[in-house]
Amino acid sequence: MWFDLVLSALCLGVALAMDAFSVSLTNGLAEPCGTRRRAAVIAGVFAAFQTAMPLLGWLLVSTVAKQFERLAPAIPYVGFGILLFIGGKMLIEGIQEILEKKKAREAGEEPPVVCAVARITLPALLIQGVATSIDALSCGFDFVDFNWYQALIAAGIIGVLTFGICFAGVFIGRKFGTKLAEKATVFGGGILIVIALKMLILDGILSL
């Protein structure tokens, strides 16, 4: 059980942090003279949302499962569908962005770079945190068999991973711009698809 908890949390943490990592790259590009404290604030906001959203998802799905026990067997399939959709969407968007940038380079044009303002305001940073963590809400489906402290530990692992990845992303963005952003999205989408298949096969089909 604990092995499954840690493994799921690690995989989800890396996958879910990819959107936040991509945004952290652009934030780093927009604030080339930012301090370590500033990078920690940016990473902390993303980590807080990535921790809270899976917990909220777990709370919702646990409540539904307890009140409507007949729905419990369908939860892995619902989770599979949601994660497959999100992962597929991330994968497609990442590939499209790579192709667009490649086409722009072949045409001798500078690929467009999405950049934040010179200094990201707190409201803007909070909006970024919400936008990049919405996908994490559905990951409560993967925690349905956990009790409250196991779900808390799993969410904590996701939060710590997100903080580290985003903290590094800010500094990478300052040095290398946003060249890694679209690859991060593809990587994250691929991991979510793998997790979706794991839910379908292990939690769904094999549990029948």
29-33, 169-173, 204-208: which range is least confident on average? 204-208
Q: In this structure, are residues 195 and 8 in contact, taking their beta carbons and an 8 Å threshold?
A: yes
176 vs 190, higher pLDDT: 190
- pTM comes to 0.67
User: Which pLDDT tens digit goes with each residue over 36-84?
Assistant: 898 999 999 999 999 998 888 888 877 766 665 566 677 677 777 877 8
Domain ranges in the chain are 2-205
CA-wise closest residue to 13 among 154, 151, 142: 154
- Give CA 77 to chain center in angstroms: 20
Sign, Cα dihedral of 98, 100, 101, 103: positive
Taking all residues of the chain, what is their mean pLDDT, rounded to a whole number? 78
153 vs 131, higher pLDDT: 153
User: Which pLDDT tens digit goes with each residue over 132-171?
Assistant: 887 777 776 677 777 788 888 988 999 999 999 999 999 8
Helix (H, G, I), strand (E, B) or coil at 35: coil
185 vs 23, higher pLDDT: 23
Six-digit token string for 19: 């959107």
Six-digit token string for 158: 């996701």
Distance CA 141, CA 199 (A): 9
Q: What is residue 115's DSSP assignment?
A: -
